Amino acid sequence: MAVVDEIRSACAWVAQRSRHVRVAHHAIDGYARELAARRTVPTLDPELHLIEGSREQRAAFTLTLDAINFGSGWFPQLRKRPGRSGYATVALALRQRFAVHGPWSAEELAAIGRDDVAATFGQDANHELVGLWTTALRQLGATLERRYAGSWCAPVDDAQGSAVALVESLATSAGFEDVSTYEGRAVPLYKRAQLAAADLQLAGVAEFADVDRLTIFADNVVPHVLRLDGVLNF
């Protein structure tokens, strides 16, 4: 079973057993039609993301940013840029780092320290999230060194035009292992691995024939929106 099918199967299993949240199944068809009618083509914000430069640089930025695209529960504690969200603060800081110094090499990333991460993102080196970011970046660098001889594009090319194959490859790396547990069962989500595949295509690094097989990217805002739109009942 492909990893995206495992995600759907496990999440359906959770939904059937949930105690405090219910899916309003009668609302799904109409909601899907409404979304399809107002669908827009997704793009990356050029202010927050690297969409220019070499393919290797764009791959490096995308994979680096998506490797640390977690921790929104800590965002109220972060020093944010004026008028910017937590995510925008992180993305802008990384964008600025790439503009001045370019990407880290896989070797540099595998050995990066908390002080360097804190300085890059303008945060306190002792903050718990900075420690988690440091671990994730080290894991990404080590994976690139071990599997792909330090090449940022190699994971994309190795997927041979399949977003699902890239997700499955990234999902075996500890840094992208987004798996939760519900009533003793492992529930894979792989938000960041799937988001990386989608972002790499939007950045022009890849052209995936099966990007439509990806699932929704798990995020704390999703249930909030679905509740307001009448699809979830709490």
Note the pLDDT tens digit of each residue in 127-151. 999 999 999 999 999 999 999 999 9
pLDDT band, very low/low/confident/very high, at 47 (cuts 50, 70, 90)? very high
Average the pLDDT over 108-134 and give the result: 97
Using DSSP, state whether 187 is helix, strand or coil.
Answer: strand
Query: What digits encode the pLDDT tens for the residues 167-180?
Result: 999 998 878 989 99
Distance CA 127, CA 77 (A): 9
The pLDDT confidence band at residue 38, using thresholds 50, 70 and 90, is confident
- CB 7 within 8 Å of CB 189: yes
Distance CA 228, CA 234 (A): 10
The owner of tokens 């899907």 is 32
* Residue in this structure with the two tokens 């068809």, named with its chain if needed: 29
Number of separate helices (H) and strands (E) present in the chain: 11, 4
Q: Is the pTM of this model over 0.85?
A: yes
Confidence of residue 40 (pLDDT cuts 50, 70, 90): confident
